[in-house]
Structure formats: C-alpha cells, structure tokens
Amino acid sequence: MLMRSLFYLFAAMTIGSAAIAAFSRNIVHSAFALLGAFAGVAAIYTLLGADFVAMTQVFVYIGGILVLTLFAVMLTQGIADVTVSNRAVGRAPALAVTIAVGTAMAAAIARSPWPAAPAYVPAPTTYGIGNAFLGPYALPFEVASIVLLAALIGAVVIARPASSGEEDTP
C-alpha cells in the first residue's frame, strides 16, 4: 500500500511539474519545474527497481541537461523580462483531438483485462550491467565511446570561430 501511494505521489509530482514547465509563460519557472518532472521520473524508476536507469536520469538529465538549461537561462541577459506572445491558433482543433484520443485510450483501458501479476521484489541491476559492459559487451561499449568522442571533437570544430589566418601575438 505504501509503494502504491508513493507511486501516485511521484506520478502526480511528475505530471504537475511537466504541466507547469509546458504552460508557464516565464522561462525561468519552466526550467525549475522541469527539475520536478525529471526528479519525479527518477523516483518512479527507483520504485520500479531500476536503480541504474534512475541514477542515469539524475546524472544525465538533472545533472547535465537541466543544469545546462538553467545556466543558459541565467546567463542570457534580460530573459526574465521578455514577454512571450503565444497566439491562440488551433486551440479548438487541438482540444477536439485531445478529447478524441483521450476517450479512445480510456475506452481501451476500461475494456482490457488486467491480470494481477505476482508480487515482484526489486533487485539491484547495476551489478549485472557492469559485468555485461566488462564482459560480452565490452567491444560495443568501447566503439560507442569512440563514436561519442568523435562527435564531441566534431562539435568543438564546428563551434570554434573561423580563423582569419592571422595568429594573435602578444
């Protein structure tokens, strides 16, 4: 019962934070609401026993992407003072499609037989993933790291300003 209550709490936190991030007119509020959405997803992964995926969610999304987004927002001068004008174009068709899809999904959920699964005790997954990366998947793991390194070098070369042929001499 406690796990179910925690799941619903984290699901509500995730959905509420995602709604604030999507519908807020202030980009700073949206960026901070994204933190709640990412943290809620990581908590749900933890409840499901996927500890590796939960920590990946924390490190990559919260530690990397969200912090980068917050730095970009905070370092951009006057971003909080900008008024964003979203025109209300297509709200009626979007609402109609949303209601139609939601009704179809609710009908499918109501008609589906939901068998009860046996009780599942989550077990740590990081040990097995670590052994797989050092065993049968060592070569694909190293190839992926070389491809990512090449992409990083390519991004640096593309982002670097073009030189005019003159070197800076003191």
Per-residue model confidence as pLDDT tens digits over 107-138 = 999 999 988 888 777 777 788 888 888 889 99
- 136: DSSP letter: T
Taking Cα atoms as reference points, which of 57, 17, 12 lies closest to residue 35? 17
Separation between Cα atoms, residue 59 and residue 52, nearest integer Å: 10
The whole-number pLDDT of residue 15 equals 94
Domain that holds residue 135: 124-160
Percentages (nearest 5) of helix, strand, coil residues in the chain: 70, 0, 30
Question: Sign of the C-alpha dihedral, residues 126, 131, 134, 140?
Answer: negative
Q: pLDDT tens track of the chain, all 170 residues?
A: 888 899 999 999 999 999 998 888 788 888 889 999 999 999 999 998 888 899 999 998 888 888 888 787 777 766 656 565 656 677 888 899 999 999 999 999 999 998 888 877 777 778 888 888 888 999 998 999 999 899 989 888 887 776 665 555 55
Q: Is residue 106 part of a domain?
A: no
The whole-number pLDDT of residue 114 equals 86
Domain end among 22, 57, 80: 80
The whole-number pLDDT of residue 23 equals 85
Amino acid at 111: R
* pTM confidence score: 0.62
Q: Is residue 93 part of a domain?
A: no
Separation between Cα atoms, residue 12 and residue 83, nearest integer Å: 29
Q: Is residue 129 part of a domain?
A: yes
The whole-number pLDDT of residue 86 equals 57
Rounded to 5°, the CA angle 119-40-72 comes to 155
Domain end among 50, 80, 110: 80
How many residues are present in the chain?
Answer: 170
Q: Is residue 111 part of a domain?
A: no
Domain end among 64, 80, 96: 80
